[in-house]
Structures are given as C-alpha cells and as structure tokens.
C-alpha cells in the first residue's frame, strides 16, 4: 500500500503523520519541539524547524521504515524567512505572532490611497503586524543592511519545501497571507511591495506559486506536494465544505469557512485568504480565547475539570453577568489597548456565575467575528483546546443554535497536509480524498433550544460597545 506523509510545522513543534494513501489510516507519527518564543519579539531560526522535522521523521520511521510515495508540508502562516544570494538564511525568521511590526502595518495601510478598503480590494485583507509585508517593512526600517542583502523572501512552509526539493515554491493558500498576493486575481501584487521599497525589483525575490494539484518537486523519490499554511491544511483535515463553519479556540480563536468566491472586508475583520484547493477561506481571528478562561479559573482556584463543573452548574446567561474578554487587547474588534470588562455584578455573584460568564464571553466574542463571514448554513466544527471542555462544547452549541461536531482527529493540520499529498499523488479531487478517508467525523453536541441565544449575544454586544467608549 502506498503511504503519504503530512507535516505540521507549527510555532511550538513539528508533527509528522504517516497515512495509508487509500484509506487515510494513520500508520505512524512523530513529534519534536521548536524553541519557545516570547512576543512581542517572536523569532525562530529555520534550522530548528529542519532539525525538528528530521527528529519527528525518525520517530515515525520515515523514510527508513516507511518510505512515502508523497509528502506535503503545512506550517504556521505569515512569517518571514529571508535568504541571501548564496541561499543561506540571513537572520532568524519573524513569526506570525511577532508584533514588532505594528507601526509598519499601520504605515502601510495609510500609504495606499484609499487605505483599508483599497488594501482589502487589492489582496483580500488589511495588513496586520502578523502579515509578511509588514515584517518586510520592519526589516527595511530596523535592519537595512539585511534588507539590502535579501535575495529571496519565503514563508515557513516555503523554506521547508525548499529544503526537500531545492525549488523555491509556495501555494495560493499560504501566499494569500502575505499581504502582496491577490486571491481574486491569482497573482502577486508587486505594486503593494513597492510601498515597502519602490527601488527593489521584487519579482525575482518571490517563490513560484504552484497550482493545487501540481508537484513542487521530489524528496527521496517521493512526490512533494505544494504544501500550504496551517489554517488551509486544517480545513483539508476537517474535510471543510462550502458553508461549513470551523471554530478553533486555543489561546487565541479563529472562525473560518470555505467559499467559492473571494472576500474583501474593508473593516479588516475578515482576512480574505485563499484555500489550498482553488477555493477561498475567509477567516476571522481573535486574540482572546481559552487563556481568558484559564485566567478566571486561576482566580477561582479551580482546575480545568472543576472550572467546567462550575460553568455548567450555572444556567445560560449567567443571570446577567457579562464578561468582555479583551484581556490582552483584541484584534477583532481592533482594540489593541483594551482590557477585560465585567458587568452585571450583584452581591449574590457566585464562582459558578463568573465561570459561566467567562465561557460565554469568549464564545460570544468569536461568534461576533464569525458573523462577518456571512451566512454559514453547513456543519459547525469546534476544534482546539476548547473542544476538550464540556462547558465550551455546551455553550458553542447553545449560542449557535446548531449541532456542533467535535472531530475525532486530534492533528488536523498534519492530516490536511497528508490529504494534499494523497490528492497530488493519486490525481484525485481533494473532496474525494476527504470522503474516502471519512474526515470530519466526531462527537456531536445538540443545542438546548430553550436557551435564548439572541438575548445572550445581544447582552454581550451591548457590554462590548460600552467597553469601547
């Protein structure tokens, strides 16, 4: 049986899955940690990614015991890897959660006539500090000598794929998070890069964007698929279809859906990404998710199971207590200097009421962002750390008013990379591979129809608007 390898090179670790190409069954796996980072400066040297990849492959028996027919690399989005003319890495890579380029992102938005709306029309998104173009502007401002020596500009997945194939390539999904590739037009927007430096010839610095079913090259006789960004790979790992809604809640939160049409949100709430299949992946990101409930649990002296018990003990709506969870500033809505706000307190407040309000606040905050994605009438998936919490599962189901699926697959990004590898190897449609592999299965949670979800969400919206004053 042919096997394929899916690689997830995240901020924290490299994870490798070996899967049967026909059935998707996991044959072997491996994992190796990356060095920890501490924003606002968040950097890792790419050599650590390659070392972790080699270690994870060795744990999984690749390629000695399991010789793959195809591989694909998915990695943390955005980021910045710069190479010199000899192909050497010039400096540690800036990661997505490095925020030193905040002022550069603001300057770029102001530099384009028409501002945020013009950026959304040009590349589907309004630049944020996470975007590659903002990090390039930071490099030019703060390290001009390195900027002048730069001969290649790559994303994390591009660099790992280069190490496998010897070619500088990328895919449409990851390219759409740079701030200089247009999902609508399917091309680089060099005019946007000229806002960073009008004197550079940018085209020779950029990797070739290969099509979704095109091989990027070979590694040890295996076909190397294009690879993609982590959010795009997770959508493949879920078997996400047009109209489905994926809610991911870890330290931060994302809401995404697959669309047949590109999006352009001038408010900046929605990042108008492309996906890895030829469609589009509009996505909303919030900075505050389970770290908020972790903080409240710490205040209550409750471990995770006790916190869940407390939150589930209190009825929906927490008797009018509302927590706006913008503890460390917020990205959606854009409130970088915000702090959390607690309202509706009375002298009879209980630990259970506070726990329930914290969970509902996090969920309401993400759902407020998800509303900007437009109608999503398909399945609802809950993934990330919150998917292990009974309280989060219950609140998500109740406040969406829809059945929620908690997938069985714990490593969605690696699984999605393996889907891409299989689709390229077999020449099959991505949806056909997902169906054959029976992706998207999991436990389901039914909503409580007695819960007045609109009232709870309206109370949150009112409290959030008050906090904005």
Catalytic amino acids?
230
Burial class (CB in 10 A: 0-12, 13-18, 19+), 66: middle
Of 332, 280, 333, the residue nearest 123 (C-alpha): 280
Q: Hey, CA dihedral for 396, 398, 399, 403, is it positive or negative? A: positive
Across 393-417, b (16+ Cβ under 10 Å) vs e yields bbbbbbbbebebbbbebebbbbbbb
Measured CA to CA, the distance from residue 382 to residue 363 in angstroms comes to: 11
Tell me the three state secondary structure of residue 163. Answer: helix
The two structure tokens encoding residue 424: 């390229």
The label of the residue with tokens 């998917």 reads 387
320 sits in the region (left: phi over 0; alpha: psi -120 to 50; else beta) called: left
Q: Hey, CA dihedral for 411, 291, 314, 244, is it positive or negative? A: negative
The two structure tokens encoding residue 88: 């050497």
**Maximum Cα–Cα distance for the chain, whole Å?**
69
Measured CA to CA, the distance from residue 327 to residue 289 in angstroms comes to: 10
Measured CA to CA, the distance from residue 182 to residue 175 in angstroms comes to: 8
Helices (H), 176-218: 190-193
Measure the CA angle with vertex 445, ends 443 and 451; round to 5°.
175
**Paired strand residues for 218:** 223
Cα 366 to chain centroid distance, Å, stands at 14
How far are the Cα atoms of 153, 259, 380, 460 from residue 451, in angstroms, in the given order?
Answer: 50, 30, 18, 15
Backbone dihedral angles phi then psi of residue 42, each to the nearest 5 degrees: -130, 105
Measured CA to CA, the distance from residue 426 to residue 405 in angstroms comes to: 29
The two structure tokens encoding residue 93: 């890579």
Backbone dihedral angles phi then psi of residue 143, each to the nearest 5 degrees: -135, 65
């Amino acid at each position: 049986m042919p096997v394929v390898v899916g690689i997830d090179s995240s901020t924290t670790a490299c994870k490798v899955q070996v899967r049967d190409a026909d059935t998707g069954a996991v044959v072997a796996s491996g994992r190796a940690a990356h060095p920890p980072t501490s924003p606002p400066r968040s950097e890792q040297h790419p050599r650590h990614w390659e070392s972790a990849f080699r270690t994870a492959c060795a744990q999984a028996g690749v390629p000695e015991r399991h010789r793959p027919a195809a591989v694909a690399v998915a990695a943390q989005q955005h980021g910045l890897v710069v190479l010199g003319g000899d192909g050497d890495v010039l400096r540690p890579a800036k990661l997505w959660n490095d925020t030193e380029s905040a002022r550069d992102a603001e300057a770029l938005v102001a530099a384009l006539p028409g501002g945020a709306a013009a950026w959304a029309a040009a590349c589907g998104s309004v630049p944020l500090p996470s975007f590659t173009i903002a990090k390039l502007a930071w490099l030019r401002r703060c390290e001009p000598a390195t900027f002048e020596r730069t001969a290649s500009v790559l994303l994390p997945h591009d660099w790992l794929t280069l190490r496998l194939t010897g070619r500088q390539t990328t895919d449409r999904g990851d390219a759409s998070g740079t701030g200089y590739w247009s999902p609508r037009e399917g091309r680089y927007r060099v005019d946007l890069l000229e806002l960073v430096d009008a004197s550079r010839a940018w085209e020779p610095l950029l990797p070739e964007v290969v099509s979704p079913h095109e091989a990027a090259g070979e590694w040890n006789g295996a076909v190397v698929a294009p690879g993609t960004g982590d959010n795009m790979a997770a959508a493949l790992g879920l078997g996400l279809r047009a109209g489905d809604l994926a809610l991911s809640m870890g330290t931060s939160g994302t809401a995404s859906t697959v669309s047949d049409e590109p999006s352009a949100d001038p408010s900046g709430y929605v990042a108008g990404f492309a996906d890895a299949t030829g469609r589009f992946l509009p996505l909303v990101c919030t900075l505050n998710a389970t770290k908020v409930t972790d903080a409240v649990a710490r205040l209550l002296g409750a471990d995770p199971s006790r916190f869940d018990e407390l939150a589930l003990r209190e009825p929906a709506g927490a008797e009018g207590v509302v927590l706006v969870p913008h503890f460390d500033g917020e990205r959606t809505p854009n409130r970088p200097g915000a702090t959390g706000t607690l309202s509706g307190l009375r002298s009879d407040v209980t630990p259970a009421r506070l726990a329930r309000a914290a969970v509902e606040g996090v969920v309401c905050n993400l759902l407020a962002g998800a509303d900007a994605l437009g109608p999503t009438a398909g399945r609802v998936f809950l993934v990330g750390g919150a998917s292990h919490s009974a309280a989060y599962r219950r609140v998500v189901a109740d406040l969406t008013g829809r059945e929620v699926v908690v997938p069985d697959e714990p490593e969605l990004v690696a699984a999605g990379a393996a889907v891409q590898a299989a689709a390229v190897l077999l020449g099959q449609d991505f949806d056909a591979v997902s169906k054959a592999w029976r992706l998207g299965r999991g436990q389901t949670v039914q909503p409580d129809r007695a819960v007045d979800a609109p009232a709870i969400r309206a109370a949150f919206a009112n409290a959030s608007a008050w906090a904005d004053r």
